[in-house]
A and B are shown apart, each in its own frame.
Chain A
Amino acid sequence: MLESIITYSFFMQVFRMFTPYYLGASAATFSERSGVVNIAIEGFMIISAFSYAAITIATQNPYLGLIGGLIIGILFSLFFSLFTIKLKINQIVIGVGFNLLMAGLAKFLMLLFFHSSSNTPGYPHIPRLPFLKSIPMIGDLTGDSIIIFALLLVFISQTVLFKTRFGLRLRSVGENPEAAETLGIKVRLYKSGGVIICGLLASLGGIWLASNQGSFSDGMVAGRGYIAIAAMIIGKWKPMNIFFACLMFAFFESLEIALQISGSGIPSQFVQMLPYLITILVLIGFVGKTKPPAADGIPY
C-alpha cells in the first residue's frame, strides 16, 4: 500500500507543502533572532493571502496581487513593531490579537467585497517561470518562483544571519540588547528590521497558498503559521535544521492528503494528528532542550 502512496507525485507534494512552512518558519526566525516573539505568523499569512486574492481579482494581474500582498505584510509588521518595540506591549498578547484580528478582518472583507463568508471567486495564479517550468519531471516545482525562493532561502537566511554585518547585529540585539547598545548599535532599529523581514516572508507564504489554491477560502491557512513556529523551535532557530523540520511536517501533511485520496483504512484524522504528535515527541525525545536567543521576548 505504501508504494502506491509514496510516489513521484507524492514527493512533488512534499516540496509544495514545504514552501509555506519554510517561509513561515524563516519569518519567525528573523523576528526571534532579533528578540521579538512573533506568534502572528498565521495572521500575516491569512491577511496577505486574502490581499493577493482581492487584488488579483480586482486587477486580474497576479503580479500586482503579489506586490500588494507583500505591501500589506510590511504595513502590518510596522504596526507590530510599533506595538511591541516602541510601546513595549506584551508580545504574546499582541501576537494573539493579530491572529484573531487578521482572521476576522479577512472574513469581514470577504463578505464586504465578495458577498460570501466562505470563499472568493477564482483568480489566476502567479505565472510559472519560463524555461524552468518545462524541465522534465520537476518542471512543476522549478517553474514556481516562490518554491524556488523558499529553497534558496535556506542558504540566503543562513548567510544573512551568520555572515553579514546586518545578521551579526540582528542577533546581538536578540541575545543581549544592553551590550549591543553600549557598542553603539541602534537596538530598536534592528529589532524592527527583524520584524519587517518576518512580515515579508510570512506574507509570501500566505501569497503562495492563495496563488496555488486559486481561490481564497476561510480557514485555508489552517494552522500552518503555528506549525512553522514549531518547526523553528525544533530547528533551534537555525536555517538548516529548520529546513529538515519543515520537510518533516510537509511529509506528514502530504501523507495525510495521500491517505485521504487513496481511501485506505487508516482514519485521516489519525494522520492529521501526526504532525502535532511528532512535534511533541521530537521536542521531548530527539532535540532535547532548545535554547532560544537569550533576550527573546523581552521588550527593550
Chain B
Amino acid sequence: MNTSPIIEFKNISKKFGDFFANEEITFSILPNTVHSLIGENGAGKTTLMKILFGIYKQDSGHIYINGNPVSFKNPLDAIMNNIGMVHQHFELIDDFTALENIVLGDEESDYGFLNLNKSRKVLIDIIAKYNLGINLDEKVCNISISEKQKIELLKLLYRKSEILIFDEPTAVLSPIEVEEFFKIIRKFKEEGKTILLITHKLNEIKELSDSVTVLRKGKVVYEVGSDALDISVLSREIVGELETVIDLNIRGDVKSEEPYIELNNIVYKHEKASALNGVNLSVYGGQIYSICGVEGNGQSEIVDLIAGITRKSSGSIQMKYDGISLVPDDRLEKGMVKEFNTGENVLLRNNKSKYISSSKIYDTAKAVVDKYDVRLPALNAPLESLSGGNQQKVIFGREIELDNNIMVFVHPTRGVDINATAYIHKIILEQRNKGKAVLLVTSDLDEALKLSDKIGIIYKGLIGKEFTRNEFDESTDKRNRVLQNIGKAMIGVNSD
C-alpha cells in the first residue's frame, strides 16, 4: 500500500525568547492512524500542536496537509481544514451550558437567532452513536471532569473533524474512564479518522498507537512503528539519562504507636456537590498514606481541614503535633508568590526574625538550591521563571526544612518532569523513613502504588476502601485483582 502522509511537519522551529520550544521538527503522520507524540513535560508537544492548530505561528518551517502547504493564521483556519483539538487544559466556558459550549462558533441559527434545538437533534444522534451520555442543559461549572472531557469530544464530532488532536487526554481520568476513552478512540479510527495522541503514559501508547514520535527538549529524538515498539527503549528515549534512581524497597518499619493525624466522622458541607460525608482517616508516623480518587470527591476539603484553611462542620480532628508541612495542589497559586525569588519564597515560611537582609535572602536561597538540586536561571530569579519541576523542588525544600512531624503533599509531581519526579519521590520516602507522617493526595495511581504504605480510595466524600501495601506490592500475585478493585472503587463500583 502506498499512502502518502496526511500531515507533514518540515523543519518546524519555535522560540519563546531565546528558548527553543521546538527545534527543526520533521516528521509525518499517515492517514487513518493513531500517531502518538510523547515526551517529558516541557518537551514541546503542546507547542507543536498549537502551531498545527493555528494558535501559535512557527518561526520557521512548513506544515503540509495532504501534500499542500498550509499556513493557519488562527484556529478557524485549522477548523476549516477539518482539524479538531482537545486541549490539555479544557477550553470551556463555565457559565454556559454543555450545549452552548459545543455549538459555540458553529451555531445553527435562523437570521442570526440561535436555533439550539436544531443542534440538539444532531448532537443527540452523535451522543447515542458514541455512547457519550451527558446532560446538554447543565452548566459546565456544575459537572465532573470526565463529563467535561465528553463535551470536548462532542465539540470535535459536532464539527465533523477528521484530524483529531488530543493533548494529554487521560491525565485527569480514572482508570475505567480511560478504558472508555480508548474505546472511543478506536471507534474514531475505524471510521477513518486520523488521531494525534499526546501523552506521557507509556502503557497507553502500546495499547493504541500505530506509530510513535518522541520529543525531547524540543527535538525529535526517536520514531518507531507499532511493530517495533518497545516500552523500555521508549522510556529511555523520553528521558535521556535518568539521574535519580530510587529503591522503593528501602522502607524500614518505623511506624508510630499512635496516629499523628486522626479524623473521625468528619462531615463537611458547602454549596458545591463535593463535600465530606463522614470521613475516617488515621495516618501514623513512619507511614505514607495516600488518598486516591478522581478529583473533586473531597480530597481538597480534607487537606483544607487538616491545614486549618477551612473549619470543619462536625466530627473530630486530632493532630499529635502542631505545625504541618504542606505542598499544595496548585503551586503557582497556593504554594508560592510567583513574582518573588527563591529566597523570599522560602523566608515567607521559615523566618524567625523580623528583619530580612538581602544577604539572608541570598543565603537561604543558596542553601535550598544546593541541598535540593534546584536548577534556575539565577539565584534571584522570580520563581515563575523556573520550570515546574524546579519550582516544586523549592517548595519541597522549604516545607521539608520546617521539619514538622506531619507532612501533607498534594499532587506533588503534577506537571513535573520525570527526573524531578524521581527526585521528589526520593524525598518523600526519606521523610517516611525518618518517622514522619506523610499524607499524600494524588490522582496518579502509579505514584500512590509506588510510595504508599496504605491507600485510601475517596469517592463522593467518603473514604470507602483502604488497601495496604502487602495487597498491592509488586511481589504479590493478587496485585492485578487489587488494582482492578482500586479502579472500581475510584468510580464507586463495588468490587467482586
Which residues of A are in contact with B by a Cβ distance under 8 Å? 163-166, 168-169, 171-172, 175-176, 178-186, 293-294
Q: Are B85 and A182 in contact (CB under 8 A)?
A: yes
| Contacts A168-B100, A176-B91, A176-B94; A182 near B114 (Cβ below 8 A) | no
Flag if A164 contacts B105 (CB, 8 Å): no
7 A-B residue pairings within 8 Å (CB atoms): A166-B112, A175-B95, A176-B93, A179-B93, A180-B93, A182-B85, A183-B75
Q: 5 smallest A-B Cβ distances: which pairs?
A: A184-B76, A183-B105, A179-B91, A165-B109, A175-B93
Query: Nearest Cβ in chain A — how far from B167, in angstroms?
Result: 11
User: What chain A residues lie within 8 Å of B74 (beta carbons)?
Assistant: 181, 184, 186
Q: What distance in Å separates the Cβ of B347 from its nearest Cβ neighbour in chain A?
A: 31
Verify if B87 is at the interface (C-beta below 8 Å from A): yes
Q: Chain A's nearest CB lies how many Å from the CB of B365?
A: 32
Say yes or no: B155 contacts A165, CB within 8 Å: no
When A164-B109, A164-B113, A168-B100 are in contact, do A181 and B75 touch as well, CB less than 8 Å? yes
Instruction: Check: B337 CB closer than 8 A to any chain A CB.
Output: no
Q: Are B55 and A172 in contact (CB under 8 A)?
A: no
Chain B residues, CB < 8 A from A179:
91-93, 101
Q: Which residues of B contact A171 (CB under 8 A)?
A: 95-96
Q: Which residues of A contact B76 (CB under 8 A)?
A: 184-186
Assess A182 versus B93: contact at CB under 8 Å? Given A164-B109, A165-B107, A169-B104: no
Residues of B whose CB lies within 8 Å of any CB of A are 53, 55, 74-76, 79-80, 85, 87, 91-96, 100-101, 104-107, 109, 112-114, 155
Q: Are A175 and B96 in contact (CB under 8 A)?
A: yes
Q: Beyond A166-B112, A169-B105, is A182–B94 a contact (Cβ under 8 Å)?
A: no
Question: In the complex, are the beta carbons of B104 and A180 less than 8 A apart?
Answer: yes
A178 touches B91 (CB 8 A): yes
User: Contacting B105 at CB < 8 Å: which of A166, A176, A185?
Assistant: A185
- A165, A168, A176, A180 — most chain B CB neighbours (10 Å): A165
How long is the Cα–Cα vector from A163 to B101 in the complex, in angstroms?
15
Q: Which of B75, B87, B92, B93 has the most CB of A within 10 A?
A: B93
Residues of B within 8 Å of A182, CB to CB, are: 53, 55, 75, 85, 87, 91
Chain A contacts for B106, CB-based, 8 A: 183-184
**What CA separation (Å) do A180 and B93 show in the bound complex?**
8
Given contact pairs A168-B100, A172-B104, A175-B93, A183 touches B155 in the complex (Cβ within 8 A): yes
Q: Is the CB of A163 within 8 A of B114?
A: yes
Query: Which of A164, A175, A176, A185 makes the CB contact (< 8 A) with B114?
Result: A164
Least CB distance, A29 to chain B, in whole angstroms:
15
Asked if residues A168 and B92 are in contact (CB atoms below 8 Å), the reply is no
